[in-house]
Amino acid sequence: MDAYRRGRLKIWAPFLLPLVLTLGMVIGFKLRDSLRSKRRLDEIIDLIKDKYVDTVNNKLLYKDALGGILKSLDPHTVFIPVEEVQGVNDDLDGGFSGIGVEFSIIRDTIEVTNVIENGPSAHAGVETGDQFIKVGDSLVAGINITSGRIIRLLKGRQHSDIFVTIRRPGIDSLKHFPITRDIIPIYSVDASIMLDSITGFIKINRFSATTYDEFSTALKKLMAQGASRLVLDLRDNPGGYLDAATSIADNFLDDNKLIVYTKGLHAPKTEYKAGEKGVFESGRLAVLVDEGSASASEILAGSIQDWDRGVILGRRSFGKGLVQKQYELPDGSALRLTIAKYYTPSGRCIQRSFAKGRDAYMNDYEKRFETGELTGNDSISPGDTMRYYTSNHRLVYGGGGIKPDVYVPYDTSHLSSGLYTMIYSPEMKAAIWDYFIHNRAKLKYKSIADFIQHFDGQEQVKDNYLAMLEPAIRKKVIKELSKPVNDDYLLLQVKAQVARFLFRDNGYYAISLKEDNVVNKALEVLNSDQYSQLISGK
């Protein structure tokens, strides 16, 4: 037997040797070309450093060179500098090491608007309404203070200590607190409330490592309160972890249904299917999307639409059908590289074209606004005209995002720039905060429903706001508010903001959603025969 093998080897040897040599030469030439390109880049930068007329920054030269390399790729392949990596990771990991307070800058003062329950600051004795004067040795009171600077000062290594100096209203002397930093959660579920006796509402702002657990807890609580229908709000959700989106989809889909599949040149096809028995596989479901819903949001919405499991409402989604993986680099920076495309169960890739360059791709929002797509023109078709079909043979398209089953434009009655300027102005923020601080002893309500029914401080806040304005500006504001629709909307927003101080985001959304035309349309569809007609394809 061995002699036979040796004989076969002798027969093939004359052919194998040239093949091995040729393969070695090809690899050698590719490696040589790669090394030459790298040496050429280094040589050019060295020449600039040694011969250029002015002083240059080597780091910036390399950063610009890297930008040139990535420019030829897709818009979602990006380099993340060292100083930004931690913040990016915090968002996706669902937490960071800090002191556990929420704050707002009002009249150049850092006001503590909320102290996280059982967090480091709560244990140290910090209270809502306290004003930060110093963090460590850094003075943080005064003009030009920024939220970014405060956050950088408050963050730090877990279990490390930081000393803060605060002023507490009504007390003359300053107070000093040693605070031990710990992990502070970044919640991805903004709100979970009942819209009526049978309809729950959950808003997800991103898909992080903790999103599925947050969502699962919220859904079970709503179902315990009687929710047999659900509105899932993915508007302005830019995406995140694929696994978080597929796990949530698994709650709605049954029978081993395909949720999404991914594949790329160097990434084999991977299928994600529904597995465990979901807790909400049969109740009526409305998913809200808009031009800010991207990536993992579109995966979730696409799976619901393709299986006719629920109704998609709102405006066409962003159109990101690419999958990225983050690679850590030796210096602590990172490269987020596109490694695959994802496809919805019907086989469509909803990635929007970026053939006209990154700037045109990122400026798509302005284009949609100019064409009227956001404010009433529902005739705009996705960029790709390839036809796909849902499980009930409803027509859907690839390319250009997820087109909703029910189009709902921006509510133009609230699009006035003057109105938004008022609501989000420093003066309005100060007026609402002053009202809350001066009246919090009597702002005692048993529940959000109790607050909605009995709170009547909106007019006082508005009067305080108007009193802060210069006479000429006040005159313009009064004219704007002479329109009942504007005055009503401003008062609603004031009430919602006060509710946020008392009941966090659930309080805010319980009030603000009453004037949300997409949510109201979702309720209309869920409560009518239109729902079954839409998903059946009739």
Neighbouring C-beta atoms of residue 446, cutoff 10 Å: 8
Both tokens assigned to 189: 């579920």
Annotated active-site residue 479? The verdict is: no
- What is the residue type of 490? L
Q: Give 439's contacts (C-beta < 8 A, 6+ positions apart).
A: 457
> Which one of 182, 233, 250, 306 is the catalytic residue?
306
Exposed e or buried b per residue across 192-227, where buried means at least 16 C-beta atoms within 10 angstroms of its C-beta: bbbbeebbbbbbbbbbbbbbbebbeebbeebeeeeb
DSSP designation for 355: T
262 and 276 Cβ atoms separated by less than 8 Å: no
Alpha-carbon torsion 391, 397, 403, 405, what sign?
negative
359 is catalytic: no
Beta-carbon contacts of residue 497 (< 8 Å; ≥ 6 apart): 432, 508
Other Cβ atoms within 10 Å of 361 Cβ, number: 16
Catalytic residue among 203, 257, 320, 341: 320
Residue in 95, 131, 93, 100 with CA at minimum distance from that of residue 118: 100
Amino acid occupying residue 198? I
Cβ–Cβ contacts within 10 Å for residue 46, how many?
11
3-state secondary structure of 354: coil
How many angstroms separate the CA atoms of 110 and 106, rounded?
A: 7
Q: Which of 295, 317, 346, 512 is catalytic?
A: 295
Surface-to-core class of residue 348, CB atoms within 10 Å of its CB (0-12 exposed, 13-18 middle, 19+ buried): buried
What are the two backbone dihedrals, phi and then psi, of residue 451, each rounded to the nearest 5 degrees?
-65, -50
User: Residues 486, 419: contact at Cβ < 8 Å?
Assistant: yes
The alpha carbon of residue 171 and the mean position of all alpha carbons in its chain are separated, in whole angstroms, by: 40
Residue 295 annotated as catalytic: yes
Q: Which residues have a catalytic role annotated?
A: 295, 306, 320
